Amino acid sequence: YPGVVSIVHNINPKDRSILGKEFRLLSGSNRIRERLGTLEFLLSPPAFFQVNTKQAQVLYQKAVEYAGLSGKETVWDLYCGTGTLTLFLAQKAAKVYGIEAVSEAIADAKANAKHNKIGNVEFYSGDVEKVLPELATQKARPDVIILDPPRQGATKKVLETVASLGPSKIVYVSCDPATLARDLGILNQLGYHVQEIQPVDMFPQTYHTEVVTLLVKE
């Protein structure tokens, strides 16, 4: 089976989650490779990556379009995962900072930046709610903030911190319309209004959809 490049055993003693914390490599490489556009990504087992790669390109291109970058901007990418969208943004921005809670994903993100010879990115591992305020005291204020949280959405504290930083644009990438609606309501109260929304059908023949939203500061 030449298409099988890696076999990994995940050990999960619990019944409420799909994956446990322990991964054992049985055969092949501890990372697989996936290409999106001109970029190639190295992926470890715990890291998140969109399985529909053709539509993932559509999704990320729309997010980059909404960011409206000229090459001079500082961008913060929250919940950046393996740095997929981060690296697309870095091709059009002056500097991009990525934050992600999964340490293995951050290791992949750093490897991906090096692998693609992209040097204007920095990645930070930790809970966004905790790392974001620390980053705000150390780095240049963002012109654009990307929000790409898991299905439960962002916490109110994260949204309040994002708004307090005063980016001219927020691009919100959501995999759950219900939590998106909740978070957009909070951001509206914090001074950001929705300018445009674009759904992307990542999972044909299902009710699941990804949504990219552009918010601008009032």
The CA-CA-CA angle for residues 184, 188, 191, to 5°, reads 140
CA distance 74 to 146: 11
Instruction: Decide if 209 contacts 201 (C-beta within 8 A).
Output: yes
Neighbouring residues of 185: CB distance < 8 A, sequence distance ≥ 6: none
- φ and ψ of 156, to 5 deg: -60, -35
CA distance 40 to 107: 15
Question: Cα 215 vs. chain centroid, distance in angstroms?
Answer: 17
Which residues are annotated as catalytic?
A: 175
Nearest Cα neighbor of 90 from 81, 98, 99 is 98
- φ and ψ of 89, to 5 deg: -65, -40
Helix axes 156-165, 177-189, angle to 10 degrees: 50
The residue type of 164 is S
Instruction: Decide if 192 contacts 217 (C-beta within 8 A).
Output: yes
